[in-house]
């Protein structure tokens, strides 16, 4: 959606200028990127990395806390934090110590460790679910939870919300077309079947559509974030999560809550903060401090359903649930350190007020220039939108996207030492993020607005981020 308040010719000129500046300031990253064309698809080790602003991604040299340095010697305040993977900051000492200790004592055995027991009990305490299993990613956790939900209910369908995101789960790459029919999500690669064979899709916050989709009694599970995040922060309407729980219970549908991104809300995610009662819960990324990990938990009732179905011992390794490296001792040691020392009430009590400051400072700039924009927050996760009102569902969010404006905001910040999350304008606050980091972002954000409106940016009284 193009914004009437922004002169498009000026935006194009600014974007061209910023991209040229980026290329000029990153010769070593460009050199490495060009070499990578010979051995990596698209010149990157994981193809999402092509979506960073600029003609190529910056190559990382090192990181610590809430900052990192690239191979060209530039230092950055990191508000992306690996899109939640490093929400606890880069290489916190307690996690590094746990990794170093475990690396000297074996990495994987396909056997349990004492850490696995500690982590499972901690997850039980945080989220209120009795039983836990561990994976290498939240995507795997979602896949395994869906498979088990189908197994114990004997039902075919998964229900997801329009423009949701749950990792690389085939059933979740489904959206609604203009007639309300299920279709492939744009960009999905090699889908095994048409999504209408596996998935029902409804709009977030639409109780009537949810009730109609669940009424036939053929949905094994609803897979939902407690607030949509990857299309932007879309909070549940008052009472919506209660209605979701009521309707799933009424129809015998299992409710799977995906807390991977909503761990920003508090130590127990939104489930802990809001007192949610899911049948199953999935989570990953932040709980491992950057080491691959994931987890899924389920209630005593679901555990009993699984016991009644009795997955045979002699074939439990060929059912499509689990993996050789899942729950390896390194992942478990890292999760324990992260949960015990970093994802604590004390750190959230520090981080969330900084996120509130980030939000309020940006709101003041928007009000100063009478911009029809808003900013939303979920715990220590903050995001600005170039629209006047909060979207209530994924479709409204998608229609708000202004690709060129988003690109400009990202690269303008990047050229001045701030890394925001790609795909949307999101910032995470780490335990090492400082008030000065927030203030610097506010100044850069204000200057980007000044330039968009054809005014001269102000000189910055605060220096760019210092090197590590």
State yes or no: pLDDT of 132 exceeds 90.
yes
Average of pLDDT values for 149-173? 97
pLDDT tier, 337 (very low <50, low <70, confident <90, very high otherwise): very high
CB 107 within 8 A of CB 334: no
pLDDT tier, 468 (very low <50, low <70, confident <90, very high otherwise): low
Q: Which long-range contacts (CB under 8 A, 24 or more apart) does 1-6 make?
A: 1/386, 1/387, 1/399, 1/400, 1/401, 1/402, 2/402, 3/372, 3/386, 3/402, 3/405, 5/371, 5/372, 6/405, 6/452
> pLDDT of 401-439, one tens digit each?
999 999 999 999 999 999 999 888 999 999 999 999 999
Torsion (CA) 184, 186, 189, 190 in degrees, nearest 10: 30
CA 383/CA 285 separation, integer angstroms? 19
Beta bridge partner(s), residue 385: 374
pLDDT tier, 138 (very low <50, low <70, confident <90, very high otherwise): very high
State yes or no: pLDDT of 3 exceeds 60.
no
Q: Which residue has the higher pLDDT, 455 or 53?
A: 455
> pLDDT of 19-57, one tens digit each?
999 999 999 999 999 999 999 999 999 988 988 888 999
Task: Work out the burial of residue 202: count CB atoms within 10 Å of its CB; fewer than 13 is exposed, 13-18 middle, 19 or more buried.
Answer: buried
Percent of residues, the chain, with pLDDT higher than 70: 97
pLDDT tier, 316 (very low <50, low <70, confident <90, very high otherwise): confident
Q: Provide CB contacts within 8 A for 49, sequence distance 6+.
A: 57
pLDDT at 108: 97
CA 283/CA 140 separation, integer angstroms? 10
pLDDT at 432: 96
Q: Which long-range contacts (CB under 8 A, 24 or more apart) does 67-72 make?
A: 67/432, 67/465, 67/468, 68/419, 68/468, 69/467, 69/468, 70/26, 70/29, 71/28, 71/29, 71/32, 72/25, 72/26, 72/27, 72/28, 72/29
CB 135 within 8 A of CB 294: yes
CA 301/CA 73 separation, integer angstroms? 55
pLDDT at 5: 73
State yes or no: pLDDT of 462 exceeds 70.
no
CA 318/CA 171 separation, integer angstroms? 21
Average of pLDDT values for 233-245? 98
> pLDDT of 341-365, one tens digit each?
999 999 999 999 999 999 999 999 9
CA 441/CA 454 separation, integer angstroms? 20
HSE of 449 in the Cβ direction (CA atoms, 13 Å)? 21
CA 322/CA 315 separation, integer angstroms? 12
pLDDT tier, 338 (very low <50, low <70, confident <90, very high otherwise): very high
Q: Where are the beta strands (DSSP E) in 173-288?
A: 174-176, 182-184, 199-202, 219-224, 254-258, 280-284
CB 144 within 8 A of CB 133: yes
State yes or no: pLDDT of 321 exceeds 90.
yes
Nearest to 81 by CA among 228, 235, 261, 231: 261
């Amino acid at each position: 959606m193009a914004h009437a308040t922004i002169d498009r010719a000026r935006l194009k000129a600014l974007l061209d200028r910023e991209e040229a500046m980026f290329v000029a300031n990153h010769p070593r990253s460009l050199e490495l990127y060009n070499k990578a064309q010979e051995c990596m698809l698209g010149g990157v080790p994981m193809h999402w990395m092509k979506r960073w602003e600029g003609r190529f991604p910056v190559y990382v040299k090192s990181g610590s806390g809430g900052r990192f340095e690239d191979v060209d010697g530039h230092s950055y305040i990191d508000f992306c934090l690996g899109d939640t993977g490093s929400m606890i900051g880069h290489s916190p000492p307690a996690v590094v110590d746990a990794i170093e200790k475990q690396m000297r004592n074996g990495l994987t055995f396909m056997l349990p460790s004492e850490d696995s027991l500690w982590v499972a009990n901690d997850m039980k305490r945080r989220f209120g679910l009795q039983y836990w299993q561990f994976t290498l990613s939240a995507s795997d956790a979602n896949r395994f939870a869906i498979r088990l939900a189908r197994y114990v209910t004997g039902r075919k369908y998964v229900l997801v919300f329009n423009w949701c995101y749950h990792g690389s789960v085939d059933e979740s790459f489904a959206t609604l077309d203009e007639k309300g029919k299920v279709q492939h999500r744009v960009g999905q690669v090699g889908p095994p079947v048409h999504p209408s064979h596996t998935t029902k899709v409804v709009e977030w916050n639409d109780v009537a559509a949810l009730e109609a989709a669940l009424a036939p009694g053929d949905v094994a599970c609803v897979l939902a974030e407690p607030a949509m995040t990857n299309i932007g922060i879309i909070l549940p309407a008052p009472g919506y999560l209660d209605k979701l729980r009521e309707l799933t219970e009424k129809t015998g549908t299992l409710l799977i809550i995906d807390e991977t991104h909503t761990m920003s809300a508090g130590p127990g995610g939104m489930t802990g903060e809001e007192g949610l009662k899911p049948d199953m819960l999935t989570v990953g990324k932040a709980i491992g401090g950057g080491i691959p990990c994931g987890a899924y938990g389920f209630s005593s009732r679901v555990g009993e359903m699984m016991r009644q179905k009795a997955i045979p011992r002699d074939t439990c390794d060929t059912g499509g649930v689990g993996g050789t490296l899942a729950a390896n001792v390194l992942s478990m040691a890292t999760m324990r350190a992260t949960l015990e020392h970093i994802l604590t009430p004390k750190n959230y009590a520090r981080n969330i007020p900084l996120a509130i400051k980030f939000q309020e400072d940006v709101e003041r700039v928007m009000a100063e220039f009478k911009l029809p924009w808003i900013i939303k927050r979920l715990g220590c996760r903050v995001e600005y939108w170039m629209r006047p009102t909060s979207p209530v569902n994924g479709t409204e969010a998608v229609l708000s996207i202004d690709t060129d404006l988003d690109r400009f905001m990202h690269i303008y910040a990047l050229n001045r030492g701030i890394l925001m999350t790609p795909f949307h304008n999101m910032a995470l606050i780490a335990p090492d993020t400082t008030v000065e980091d927030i203030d610097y972002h506010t100044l850069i954000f204000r200057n980007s607005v000044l330039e968009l409106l054809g005014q001269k940016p102000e000189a910055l009284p605060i220096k760019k981020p210092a090197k590590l």
